[in-house]
Structure 1
Amino acid sequence: MKSLLLCAVALVSIAAATQAASSEGRVLPVPSVTIYPGDLISESMLKDRVFPENYRFRTAVVESPRVLVGKAARRTLLPGEPIPMNSVDDPKLVTRGAQTAILFEEGGLSIVGIGIPMQSGALGETVQVKNVDSGRIITGRVQADGRIRIGIQ
């Protein structure tokens, strides 16, 4: 009976210490698996970890998992390590050197062609693209469907 009482007291003290530790630290999302450059981050790849208040981060780190979900890793992210803000980016919809549809629309006129982006781009970014037919380099904005819209925007 005494040993049962001692076990109960020990469990209560461990639970209290754990709660005190979490209230005294910063809870940050960290990878639960290794995430490689270009991988899209999902919620299942993340877990929370408590860091002491006096822990010195080398750079600004992401504090919310909502910021990370759907982003692409720019470098390898190791399990259990805080995620620097500059190590994630919006996913690229167009890839440098890969043929992409280019679109010009004005009024009722719509012209579609093929171009080769000179750099990769995410949604809404302005990129230069080389028109395959004319060889001219033009500037356009990346659309949600992966096409590049050129002309008046």
Structure 2
Amino acid sequence: MTRRAIHFLITLWIALLPGVALAVPVTDLVIERAEQEFGPTLPTNGSFSVRMAQGTPAEGEFIKEFWIDPDSGQFIANLVTERGDIRRIQGLAILNIPVPVVTRRVMPEEILTEADIQIVDMPWARVHSFAVTEFDGLNGMQVRRMLTPGRPVHRQSVIPPIIVARGDRVIIELKYGPLQLTATGKAISDAHLGQEVRVVNLSSNKTITAVARADGVVEALF
């Protein structure tokens, strides 16, 4: 029999003995109840960091009652100790989530790279609903507004890189079955890859709608 199996059997035997209970770290009990309180609103990648008030028992059996302020993380609870006593405990249970932030001040028009981004744990209450929460939501994106290091990035502060800029000369491609034609045009709006853009055909002086396909290349729509 392995050492792990022996340890498991001993633990199980102790747990089944009358009057004998297995104490659990109080922080684990608090995290368990905090997760229950948040329920379906708990982010899948969220985790709690718990700070207890001085004099709090290190272990307990279970938490009987639990109250928490989701915004501040302050909680009060009634802890049942190993002896069956009820102790009032309090502290902070802060819900954190990993968030991508920039490592330096980034100016508009710059393109973000991996070197500009790091993942940090941040209190959920500090991360607004419009913040970018995924690494890929920043990597390779073009900045619209100045970004401050260490702060959550608003989704509207970054966009896919512009490949057609307003006023640029562009190549207009027209594809219709086997027929492929090209013409020169001028963009009258910005566009990223796959975005619709208004373009003036310089040959006919007519404005058409196209889709940005590559740097300086658009495909006419019918």
Q: TM-score range by the shorter chain?
A: 0.7 to 0.9
- Write the letter of the residue equivalent to 2:123: P
Q: Contact 2:172 / 2:218 at 8 angstroms: preserved in 1?
A: yes
The structure with higher relative contact order (CA 8 Å, sep 6+) is 1
- Write the letter of the residue equivalent to 2:107: Y
1:82 to 139, 152, 158: 152
C-alpha spacing 1:138/1:26, structure 2 compared with 1 (3 Å): same
1:34 to 105, 111, 114: 105
Taking the TM superposition and a 5 Å limit, the aligned residue runs for 1:37-116 are 37-55=108-126, 57=127, 60-116=130-186
Structure 1 residue matching 2:214: 3-state secondary structure: coil
Q: Contact 2:211 / 2:221 at 8 angstroms: preserved in 1?
A: no
TM-score (structure 2 length as normaliser): 0.54
- Write the letter of the residue equivalent to 2:96: G
Looking at CA atoms only, which structure, 1 or 2, has the larger radius of gyration?
2
Q: CA deviation at 1:20?
A: 4.6
Question: By percentage of residues, which structure has more strand?
Answer: 2
- Is 1:122 matched with 2:122? no
Q: Contact 2:169 / 2:216 at 8 angstroms: preserved in 1?
A: no
- Write the letter of the residue equivalent to 2:139: V
Structure 2 gaps of 5+ residues are 1-47, 51-93
Structure 1 residue matching 2:156: 3-state secondary structure: helix
Q: CA deviation at 1:117?
A: 0.7
Q: Aligned partners of 2:102 and 2:203: how far apart in 1? A: 45
Q: CA deviation at 1:50?
A: 2.5
Taking the TM superposition and a 5 Å limit, the aligned residue runs for 1:3-22 are 20=49
Aligned residues: 132
- Write the letter of the residue equivalent to 2:202: V
Residue in structure 2 matched with residue 137 of structure 1 by the alignment: 207
Can you list the C-alpha shifts for 1:10-34, whole angstroms capped at 9, x where unaligned? Answer: xxxxxxxxx957x852221111011
Residue in structure 2 matched with residue 4 of structure 1 by the alignment: none
Q: Aligned partners of 1:151 and 1:49: how far apart in 2? A: 44
Structure 1 gaps of 5+ residues are 1-18
CA-based RMSD? 2.1
* % same residue: 27
